[in-house]
Chain A
């Protein structure tokens, strides 16, 4: 587990100080769509320059190194308890070593733990897998974009949003319209639909781990992902919320079955510095 611990520390370093290639590519192609003398163009240029600087000097892209969210697929026979402890140990080491900003604050005492560990912090989702490979996905989720996420319960009268995919479409548009520039656009947007509140928030976060090039296997949802991306970019909020053609880089939708009485939609938003990475062990 010691070697694994060091592997997770390295994963932290990579995720905090660089961007996945699909996100960087999307920022570059966004740049080519914006007018050269616009705030959108200069914002995107600075973002791309910042990504390069962060990678070259191994410093965190953003000072908000976020809530670390782990999605772990564990082969049968490996102790999930031990694995969780290893992740916590790696978190303490990475906080000092990378360094990361200590973000875990006790709600009662208001004390910062100083090492990014605490009750439910980092956030770790474990799931058994049938294969023999341990897969650890890490997303470092910034607070600003987490704060603009929204949970909806359909139907919603003000939006004339009924219990169907057009209703879902209106929820996503509403969430981004309300977010404006406060969560650092261009955004990556994860949507989860299903029967229970806790289920859809998790499902929406799962979608943020999909590559931008990945489309839903369900044709209707793949279509909706594309329509929403186009409609959100048509809102004109733009990079940093200062206007422009690029408000989102991708929209990803995941579904579970729902209860006849319930139709929950969660919209989870990531900032442009969408930091995610994978360790295969």
Chain B
């Protein structure tokens, strides 16, 4: 096994520029969650940075709607894997730019607008394991805060997670490399060959 690159959060532009698509990393420090409703809210309402209780500059935004449980005065993450990132493609480039994010984490990769925004702003896309929600929740040590819980509910709220050794793969780097795009291109080539083969036979 390749030894993962250990990243401590928040990230600097220098940290991010040194990462290449294919690098296996672990994250330690604070990350924030956000999925469909947080993205739409940030993109349309454009709240000032002071209105958001967490520092987003240099942060990693994790596409995740966790299962949470009350624990003492706070919360505990029971199950917390990634959700499909592509659903927030229409908002992400603007959010990366306006809130100075250094990492987007989710599953399945993102589109052309995000790929450009990663390059222009010094940010990376991290793919983490879809469906490995218990394995990933065990790497969330604390839940220091939450924003928009009342308004959006626990699935769509922005949670602040303190993680340790949280595993991910850089699949879109800030040089424009995109592993999802490469797999898609190759599978499309094989798909087209198959379609031709089936047609010529029938």
Contact = CB atoms under 8 A, between A and B. Distances in A.
A62 B81 CA distance: 7
A54 interface: yes
Interface residues of B, number: 50
Interface in A229-281: 231, 234-238, 240-243, 271-273
Interface in B103-149: 107-109, 127, 129-135, 137-138
B10 interface: no
Nearest to B182: A243
Contact of B133 (A61, A231, A240): A61
A180 B183 contact: yes
A42 B179 CA distance: 16
A57 interface: yes
Contacts of A64: 65, 81, 83, 133
B108 A50 contact: no
A170 B2 CA distance: 39
A64 B67 CA distance: 8
Contacts of A103: 155
A182 B187 CA distance: 14
B190 interface: yes
A100 B109 CA distance: 26
B153 interface: yes
Interface of B: 1-2, 64-67, 69, 78-81, 83-84, 86-87, 107-109, 127, 129-135, 137-138, 153-156, 167, 169, 171, 179-180, 183-184, 186-188, 190-191, 194-195, 198-199, 201-202
7 contacts: A102-B155, A180-B183, A181-B183, A182-B86, A184-B130, A237-B187, A273-B131
Sorted nearest first, the 8 A-B pairs with minimum C-beta distance are A184-B130, A182-B108, A50-B132, A63-B79, A50-B135, A273-B131, A112-B153, A177-B191
Given A241-B180, A242-B180, 20 more contacts: A47-B129, A50-B134, A54-B79, A60-B78, A62-B130, A63-B67, A99-B69, A102-B153, A102-B155, A144-B130, A162-B202, A170-B198, A180-B184, A182-B108, A184-B131, A231-B194, A235-B191, A236-B187, A243-B179, A272-B131
Interface of A: 37, 39, 42-43, 46-47, 49-50, 53-54, 57, 59-65, 99-103, 111-112, 114, 142-144, 147, 159-160, 162, 164, 166, 169-170, 173-174, 177, 180-184, 231, 234-238, 240-243, 271-273
